[in-house]
Amino acid sequence: MNIRGIAAIYKYEMHRAFRTIGQTIASPVLSTMLYFIVFGSAIGSRITDIDGVSYGAFIVPGLIMLTVLSQSVSNASFGIYFPRYSGTIYEILSAPLSFIEVIIGYVGGAASKSLIVATIVLITSSFFIDLNIAHPFWMLFFLIMTSVTFSMFGFIIGIIADGFEKLQIIPLLVITPLTFLGGSFYSINMLPEFWQKVSLLNPVVYLISGFRWSFYESADVAIHTSIIMILVFLSACIGIVAWIFKTGYRLRD
Amino acid sequence: MAETVISIQNLDKTYDNGFTALDKVNLEINKGEIFALLGPNGAGKTTLIGSICGIVSPTGGHISVFGHDTIKEYKQTRARIGLVPQELTVDSFETVWNTVTFSRGLFGKKDNPAHIEDVLKRLSLFDKKDTQVRKLSGGMKRRVLIAKALAHEPDILFLDEPTAGVDVELRKSMWAQVRKLQETGVTIILTTHYLEEAEEMADRIGFISKGNLFMTEEKTSLMKKLGKKELVLELYNPLDCTPSSLDGFNLKLANDGYQIIYTYDPAMQDNGVVSLLDQLRGLGIKCKDFNTRQSSLEEIFIELVGQE
Ligand SMILES: Nc1ncnc2c1ncn2[C@@H]1O[C@H](COP(=O)(O)OP(=O)(O)OP(=O)(O)O)[C@@H](O)[C@H]1O
Ligand SMILES: [Mg+2]
């Protein structure tokens, strides 16, 4: 195992985050705060408690997940796409690194960044509402698994994309709708029955539900289902990555 | 017999679009030599280098580096190779120091600031170590790429057109650097379009055209074998045409008939020079001066590529 090689990529990715600190940390924090002010304070003050949780507190887990999902995907996809675009990927390809090691470096970097941003969002929201976390272990579990899974998903996009447009359009067309419809701002139970069923096809529902459960012990779907689903998504991403690895898809000519 | 560090057998590369860039290439590189790969644009030089370094997946054949297969044992082979790519692909936003240190880590080597410092100093980059790469000139960026390739102390160094866009003075200094590296036992494979560079630097030269490595030769024997000589005779009186009795010599007239040029092969026992001079005297053609010159690698190259 080329640990130093992995560390070099990881450090590089983290360094990139701090170099562009505005993009990486400030902007998600700012946008989360805006959501919070608009949905949590302004609109939320007119909404009754959901499952015994005030609306402001109710949306915190969803907001964090929203941030983690979009950050993971955009960080990881950009992290691997940019070297492909600029040509500096030659060095990664000529280094004694396996594909797995390259992934660990990039996905590890992107997931770490998401975790940092999530922590900052969590701290920010604690200024607005009283937070209590019922199951810290499961909260961390969902946070880490989601960061890793979606960083891997982003990595896959970064490898498949053949232009900056695609890099941006997949998160925009797929991730954003799924998270908005995934129950960040409402409980699935509030929907008509038909749409509840449809929502169950949305993977993000399981993530947000499980994550919210770790805070308030109330969930849209059974916690076990959430845990199983996140493991399924992670395996799916690992499966796709393994397939890319086998075919050498789009990295080597 | 020199130790072989790279051995390539029947290497093929057909790109996804069906284009065959390498066709049954066989090549052995000896330890410590400087090998120059010459060929016109699109000949397959970069593809050949890429196949050895892991940038390109070959579609056929075998490559071994220090006895290890470049596919099955890529970690062993890649760890010992440094690559300076043809394109100026640099990490614009990093500093020189960071990008070179990054390269060393990537290749699994323990941090060694003293080595990085030494490499940067040798390439006259040390005073730029904290500068962002994008703020450097093209020639400096090229040197950053060389520094990156040397960061992990490779035993084999590939230089894909290292002196493209580099001024004459710097080119000379880079040649000197490459020599120094060779003295420390590093094997060097370079491609270039500057034939004088190959002539100046290389121990052996390989000619590639249309994916076909059709000839590899020691430089000296190549020059001897293929190097034609020219005898230029300056005449007192100009000629309109060469006398028909001298047709066998394939003479050329130049300078409005004031010069006769005779091209011959110096390796031949009877090169015809004496008999030509005798016959000219017999015809009453007077020479006031003469000189000879050896054809350069450039001329050899053009001739070879023309034949292909
Ligand atoms: N990714 C690719 N897909 C398809 N064809 C390619 C690819 N890369 C290179 N080629 C083709 O393969 C041939 C050899 O290219 P290569 O870059 O190896 O040439 P070269 O000898 O290095 O040329 P130059 O002197 O211009 O650098 C060219 O005809 C090129 O168009
Ligand atoms: Mg080339």
Any idea which ligand is nearest the CA of B42?
1
Q: Which two tokens stand for residue A50?
A: 């959901």
Question: pTM of the full predicted structure?
Answer: 0.84
Query: Could you report the per-residue pLDDT of A165-224, keeping only the tens digit for each?
Result: 888 888 788 888 888 888 888 888 788 888 888 888 888 899 898 999 998 888 778 888
Angle at A216 (CA atoms; ends A45, A212), nearest 5 degrees: 90
Phi, psi of A134 (to 5 degrees): -70, -40
Euclidean distance between CA atoms A176 and A66, whole angstroms:
8
Cα dihedral B162, B168, B169, B173 in deg (nearest 10): 30
pLDDT(A124) > 90: no
Q: pLDDT digit string (tens) for A36-61? A: 788 777 777 777 777 777 888 888 88
Question: Taking Cα atoms as reference points, which of A57, A104, A95 lies closest to residue A212?
Answer: A57
Name the token pair of B183: 């003295």
Residue among A224, A84, A241 at smallest CA distance from A151: A241
Domain positions in chain B: 1-80+155-169+179-226, 228-296
- The kind and range of the H/E element at B220 are helix B219-226
Residue in A88, A92, A104 to test binding to B, most B beta-carbons within 10 Å = A88
Give the model's confidence band at A101: pLDDT under 50 very low, under 70 low, under 90 confident, else very high.
very high
Q: What is the DSSP secondary structure assignment for residue B216, as one 8-state letter?
A: E
Distances (CA, A) of B56 to A82, B44, B64: 19, 12, 15
Rounded Cα–Cα distance for residues B79 and B75 (Å): 6
CATH classification number, B228-296, choose in 3.30.70, 3.30.160, 1.20.58, 3.40.30? 3.30.70
pLDDT value at residue A249: 60
What does the angle CA B217 – CA B220 – CA B224 come to, to the nearest 5 degrees?
Answer: 95
Is the pLDDT assigned to residue B298 strictly greater than 70?
A: no
pLDDT band with cut points at 50, 70 and 90 for residue A248 = low
Q: In this model, does residue B2 exceed pLDDT 80?
A: no
Beta partners for residue B290, in sequence order: B233
Torsions phi, psi of A192, nearest 5? -60, 155
Q: Is the pLDDT of residue B31 over 90?
A: yes
Q: Find, among B5, B4, B1, B52, the residue nearest to B25 by Cα.
A: B52
| Model pLDDT, residue B245 | 84
Cα B44 to middle of ligand 1, angstroms: 6
Question: Does the distance separating the beta carbons of B102 and A94 come in below 8 Å?
Answer: no
Cα-atom radius of gyration of chain B, to the nearest Å? 24
Residue of A64, A141, A150 whose CA lies nearest to A111: A150
Task: Count Cβ–Cβ pairs < 8 Å, chain A vs chain B.
Answer: 76
SS3 B13: strand
Summarize pLDDT for B261-276 with one digit per residue, the tens.
Answer: 888 877 677 788 888 8
Query: B44 in ligand 1 pocket by Cβ < 6 Å?
Result: yes
Range of weakest confidence among A75-79, A180-184, B14-18: A180-184
Rg (CA), chain A: 19
% of chain B at pLDDT higher than 70:
93
pLDDT of residue A113: 92
Those residues with Cβ within 8 angstroms of residue B37's Cβ, 6 or more apart along the chain or in another chain: B45, B48, B49, B189, B190, B191, B205, B206, B208
C-alpha distances in Å from residue B159, one per residue of A9, B70, B87, B179, B258: 24, 19, 11, 13, 46
AA letter at B181: L
Give me the DSSP letters along A9-58: HHHHHHHHHHHTHIIIIIHHHHHHHHHIIIIIIIIGGGS--BTTB-HHHH
Q: What token pair was written down for B247?
A: 């047709």
Helix (H) and strand (E) counts in chain A: 12, 0
So what's the pLDDT on residue B305? 67
d(CA A156, CA B125): 37
pLDDT at B30: 93
3-state per-residue secondary structure call for A102-154? HHHHHHHHHHHHHHHHHHHHHHHHHCCCCCCCCCHHHHHHHHHHHHHHHHHHH
Least confident of A94-108, B35-49, B92-106, B285-299: B285-299
B206 lines ligand 1 (CB under 6 A): no
Domain coordinates of chain A in residue numbers? 3-247
Q: State whether residue B76 sits within 8 Å of chain A by CB.
A: yes
pLDDT in the model for residue B227: 65
pLDDT category at B73 given cuts 50, 70, 90 is very high
Q: Is A250 on the interface with B (CB under 8 A)?
A: no
Of A104, A145, A149, A135, the C-alpha closest to A240 is A149
Residue of B nearest to A251 (CA): B55
DSSP, res B110 = P
- Residues around ligand 2, an ion, CB closer than 5 A: B 45-46, 86
Mean pLDDT across B122-145 = 91
Instruction: Say if residue B308's pLDDT is above 60.
Output: no
Tokens of B222: 């190549």
The alpha carbon of residue A93 is apart from the nearest alpha carbon of chain B, in Å, by 6
Q: Provide mean pLDDT across the span B27-33.
A: 94
Confidence of residue B226 (pLDDT cuts 50, 70, 90): low
Q: Within the 242-301 window of chain B, which residues sit less than 8 Å (CB to CB) from chain A? A: none
ipTM of the modeled complex: 0.86
| pLDDT score for B24 | 92
Q: Which CATH number fits domain B1-80+155-169+179-226: 3.40.1400.10, 3.65.10.10, 3.50.50.60, 3.40.50.300?
A: 3.40.50.300
Among the residue ranges A12-21, A144-153, B44-53, B161-170, the one predicted with the least confidence is B161-170
Question: Residue A16 corresponds to which tokens in the numbers above?
Answer: 């990139």
Q: How far is the CA of B47 from the centre of ligand 1 (A)?
A: 6
Whether A4 and B102 lie within 8 Å, measured CB to CB:
no
Q: Average pLDDT over chain B, rounded to whole?
A: 88
| Average pLDDT for A238-247 | 83
Please give the pLDDT value at position A26. Answer: 80
Residues 6+ apart with CB under 8 A from B184: none
Backbone torsion region of residue B264, taken as left when φ is above 0, otherwise alpha when ψ lies between -120 and 50, otherwise beta: beta
pLDDT in tens, B105-129: 999 999 999 999 999 998 889 999 9
Cβ of B43 closer than 6 Å to ligand 1, yes or no, is: yes
Please report the pLDDT score of residue A250 as a whole number.
63
Would you state the pLDDT for residue B22?
93
The gap from C-alpha B44 to its chain's centroid, in whole angstroms, comes to 13
- For ligand 2, the distance from its centroid to the CA atom of residue B248, given in whole angstroms, is 42
> What's the pLDDT score for residue A76?
93
**Candidates B46, B89, B159, B301: which one to mutate for ligand 1, based on the most atoms within 8 Å of Cβ?**
B46
Indicate the residue type of A225: T
Q: How many Å apart are CA B62 and CA A54, to the nearest integer? A: 67
Residue B295, pLDDT > 70, answer no
Chain B segment 104-133 residues within 8 A of A by beta carbon are 104-110
Instruction: Tell me the β-bridge partners of B209.
Output: B212
Residues contacting residue A135 through CB under 8 Å, at least 6 positions apart: A213, A214, A215, A217
